[in-house]
Amino acid sequence: MGAIVAMLVARAGDPDKAVVISYIGELVVDGLAVWDLLQSGDVEVRLASGETYLLGESTVLRLA
């Protein structure tokens, strides 16, 4: 996986969260999603199917 995936997994601080980040990273690598690291430290994930999620410190929020 890419460097950003490794960085996000390393900072997850929780093994379960690291697994979720890894799987989302695989979607990004496979071209099925894109993500942006926001200034707040949260991650915005946009799936190819149209859904958008905000990955916060302890929550996942569906935006669209």
> Is 9's pLDDT higher than 80?
no
pLDDT band at 8 (very low <50, low <70, confident <90, very high): confident
User: Does the predicted model carry a pTM greater than 0.85?
Assistant: no
**pLDDT tens profile 37-57:** 899 888 899 999 999 999 888
Using the Cα atoms of residue 28, residue 12, residue 42 and residue 62 in order, give the sign of their dihedral: positive
Ramachandran sector of residue 31 (left: φ over 0; alpha: ψ -120 to 50; beta: rest): left
